[in-house]
Amino acid sequence: MKITFYGHASLGIQINTINILVDPFITGNPKAKDIDIDNLQADFILVTHAHQDHILDVEAIAKRTGATVVSNYEIATYYGNLGIENHPMNHGGKWDFEFGTVKYVNAIHTSSFPDGSYGGQPGGFIIEGEHKNIYIAGDTALTFDMKLIPLQTPLDLAILPIGDNFTMGIDDAIMASDFIECDKILGYHFDTFGYIEIDHDEAKRKFFENNKDLMLFEIGESIEL
């Protein structure tokens, strides 16, 4: 399993020959100007919630690639109405896809589309694929629900928001790392806007002092699990 950071909360996940994108927000992110969405491959696009900084490039990429949008019922239906292949899910549900199992799990946040219409309830994803398990938290507060995850799924990597203001900040993300029993964390949802700028050295030091590893990637950087 290969995971690539495309800036903000945008990820690429490659499992065997299958390409998955998560929350593509690239053309609206000046920091991601070197990423060309027309070069991104996608068989599936996972969407955690309907906020613009998570869905901006979903329609264009899905229409070009024919990718299947996987999200909550409301978001999947929205893309279905645009003629896009989709797979609706809802909280607590899981499905065996050709690349592995996906479970849509709770997040504490909101989920309106850019025009204010209802985008269902926000979530995160547990992906079990290729003998590796990852948790993509989406935009979320720290929540006790995270403690349910390791009861069912041992995690190899967790991708947590760390930018504060709209989501967890560093201290809550460290606590989340305890809740999910995973010490290997890739931080996301930071630095894109003024509200979520972080001190990288301080963030890494705080994780290190708690015997955890916080990775902060450059845009385009990858990890192989």
| Least distance from Ni ion to the Cβ atom of residue 187, Å | 16
- Starting at the edge strand found earlier in the chain, the sheet holding 213-215 runs 94-97, 100-106, 123-129, 132-136, 157-161, 184-188, 213-215
Token pair recorded at residue 12: 């690429």
Q: Which amino acid is at 177?
A: S
Residue 187 to residue 184: CA distance in whole angstroms: 10
DSSP secondary structure, 154-213, as one string: --SEEEEE---SSS--HHHHHHHHHHTT--EEEEES-SSSGGG---HHHHHHHHHHTT-E
Residue 104 to residue 111: CA distance in whole angstroms: 14
User: Going by DSSP bridges, is the β-strand pair 132-136/157-161 parallel, antiparallel, or unpaired?
Assistant: parallel
Q: Which of 23, 74, 128, 139 binds Ni ion (CB under 5 A)?
A: 139
Q: Is 164 in the site for Mn ion (CB under 5 A)?
A: no
| Least distance from Ni ion to the Cβ atom of residue 50, Å | 8
Stretch that binds Mn ion, among 33-41, 111-119, 124-132, 135-143 (CB under 5 A): 135-143
- Cβ closest to Mn ion, residue 53 vs residue 57: 53
Stretch that binds Ni ion, among 22-30, 70-78, 138-146, 194-202 (CB under 5 A): 138-146
Picked from Mn ion, Ni ion, none, the partner binding residue 8 (CB below 5 to 8 A depending on kind) is none
Q: What are φ and ψ of residue 179, in 5° steps?
A: -60, -40
- Cβ closest to Mn ion, residue 15 vs residue 47: 47
| Least distance from Mn ion to the Cβ atom of residue 51, Å | 5
Stretch that binds Mn ion, among 11-19, 75-83, 132-140, 190-198 (CB under 5 A): 132-140
Site string for Mn ion, 20-59 (x = CB under 5 A): ---------------------------------x------
With a CB cutoff of 8 Å and minimum separation 6, the contacts of 109 are 49, 122, 138, 139, 140, 141, 166, 167
Picked from Mn ion, Ni ion, none, the partner binding residue 172 (CB below 5 to 8 A depending on kind) is none
Q: Which of 43, 57, 128, 139 binds Mn ion (CB under 5 A)?
A: 139
Stretch that binds Ni ion, among 49-57, 83-91, 191-199, 215-223 (CB under 5 A): 49-57
Q: Give the binding-site size for Ni ion (rule: CB under 5 A).
A: 2
